[in-house]
Amino acid sequence: MAFIRRPRSLWQLRTRTLNLGERTLVMGVLNVTPDSFSDGGLYFGTGAAVEQALTMLDQGADIIDIGGESTRPGAQPPGAQEEQDRVLPVMKAVLRERPGTVISADTYRASTAVAAVGAGAEIVNDVSAFTWDAEMASACAHLRCGVVLMHTRGRPDAWRTQPRLAAEEVVPLVKEDLRRSLDHAFAAGVERSRIVLDPGYGFGKVFDDNYPLLAHLDELLGLGQPLLAGVSRKSFLGRTVGAAIGVADVPAGERGNATLAGTAAAILAGASIVRVHEVRPAVEAASIADAILAAL
């Protein structure tokens, strides 16, 4: 695969637009949860979460993606009100400290999306691509916010028992499912200029299933939308690195180097936005990948 020159576009958010394609944008992950797979509990309190958001902004994050529910298999999902109680105070406090911050609400619930945009969020990042809440598509159309539609294959509790995909099945499956989600979004009134697509690394793709999706990410550009890639600390990276050094797995917190490799590969394959836990290293890696793309 040759490196891919990304199409340039304007991503329309709630109150502003972001330029995509010229420079990779870095989305910092902020999990306000007790049980997320790599940082559960670290930023569960509002004070700690706000401090982490400000740190990520200082390190060069363009977007802060704030979520209040872990999608880790086996995690206990909070109710909508508990989810909102976790994230809304953080969003409001970050915007008080840094009024220009672009905040993304990581939620699949329409009620939380409405509350988050009311609190100042510019983007709704739905890991289910509008499939887990029947009201989400129409809610986002009404909110006129930016949207990330992420591919998920099944629900988290089913991931461990799902049948494996053949390598050649992965990309066509993700592409077709995202096409359907796009059609659903358009039918609900969400404008094309507001939508970014995410292939959903690790979400219903078992370990090596993710590598065809990374190697052929550029095929998803055929759907006509900018792409976001989130490989940060994913388990398929840990398994691969573990095999290279003679262990079964590498813990999530020790997958930083693997994350940078996967993130740079995604940028060179067509991603305009990368979603990461560690911002500064990602900003540095993206600057190199962007320089390579500028030389094409």
Catalytic residue numbers, as ranges = 234, 275
How many residues belong to the chain?
296
User: Would you call 230 exposed, middle or buried from its count of C-beta atoms within 10 A (0-12, 13-18, 19+)?
Assistant: buried
CA angle 81/83/84 to nearest 5° reads 65
Angle value at C-alpha 149, between 147 and 154, nearest 5 degrees: 150
Tell me the two tokens of residue 105: 């609400």
Nearest CA to 65 out of 97, 102, 99 is that of 102
Q: How far apart are CA 218 and CA 292, in angstroms?
A: 16
Question: Which three-class secondary structure state does DSSP give residue 39?
Answer: coil
Q: Which residues of 233-249 are buried (b: 16+ CB within 10 A; e: fewer)?
A: bbbbbbbbbbeeeeeee
| Contact in structure between 13 and 122 (CB atoms under 8 Å) | yes
